[in-house]
Structure 1
Amino acid sequence: MMSQFDKKRDALLDEIRDILANAEELFDDQKQSGEAELKKLKDTLNSRIGRAKEQFSNLQQDAVAGAKQVAKQTDAIVQDNPYKAIGIAGVIGLLLGVLISKK
């Protein structure tokens, strides 16, 4: 099941692929098209780039909000169970130390 973040990321990637296709069309048609058609293609391309920037901004805001939520949840868990958190951190440190010392 795709998360909302994954759906937005895929939509943004699709939009970027479409923009690149339009850019290729613009360069291919540059020699053959009239100035009016070229301006229309440029305007379309600029509009789609603007939408992609907006989608990227929304995706970035969602990622930051998700990271903040995870940090708050982690903080709450550590506040509620400080000794468990210290124990888990100690075990992880010990395991990493053993793994590093073997190399």
Structure 2
Amino acid sequence: MPDVNSELSTDSKQKLVSDMKVVVSHAEELLRATAGVADEKMNDLRERIGQSLRDAKLRLADAEGALVDKTKAAARATDDFVHENPWRAVGVAAVVGLLLGAIISRR
């Protein structure tokens, strides 16, 4: 089975973390809204959902931390490359600029 982390872009991972935070927030709101219901099954369900939410928050924090770490590592690698190969970096930037200019001028 392929590694999901390697298949998702950084933007996709950020969007996923953001979406999961919204889901967790809505689930917490639902738990608060049903707090007055005294049914034993509902209490058990609220307890299980609460535990799942706590676990999800921990995993989200871990995923967000890993995402930040990977972003920082990519930035360091880019910085190192530019410092070690300044003319190559200028060349790459010039080519990208020319391509963008050509694309924009066609419109």
With normalisation by structure 2, the TM-score equals 0.66
Instruction: Name the CA distance, whole Å, in 1 between partners of 2:6 and 2:95.
Output: 33
Residue 90 of structure 1 pairs with residue 102 of structure 2:
no
Preserved CA contact (<8 Å) 1:78 1:85: yes
Unmatched 5+ residue regions in structure 1?
none
Residue of 47, 65, 68 corresponding to 1:43: 47
How many residue pairs end up in the alignment?
A: 83
Q: Which has the larger radius of gyration?
A: 1
The residue type equivalent to 1:2 in the other structure is: D
When the two chains are superposed, the root-mean-square deviation of aligned CA atoms in Å is 2.6
Report the CA distance between 1:40 and its aligned residue.
Answer: 1.2
Partner of 2:73: 69
Instruction: Name the CA distance, whole Å, in 2 between partners of 1:46 and 1:5.
Output: 30
Partner of 2:16: none
| Identity level (%) | 27
Residue of 52, 55, 69 corresponding to 2:56: 52
Cα-to-partner distance string for 1:49-83 (whole Å, 9 max, x where unaligned): 11111111110000000000011011000000001
With normalisation by structure 1, the TM-score equals 0.69
Instruction: Name the CA distance, whole Å, in 2 between partners of 1:78 and 1:99.
Output: 26
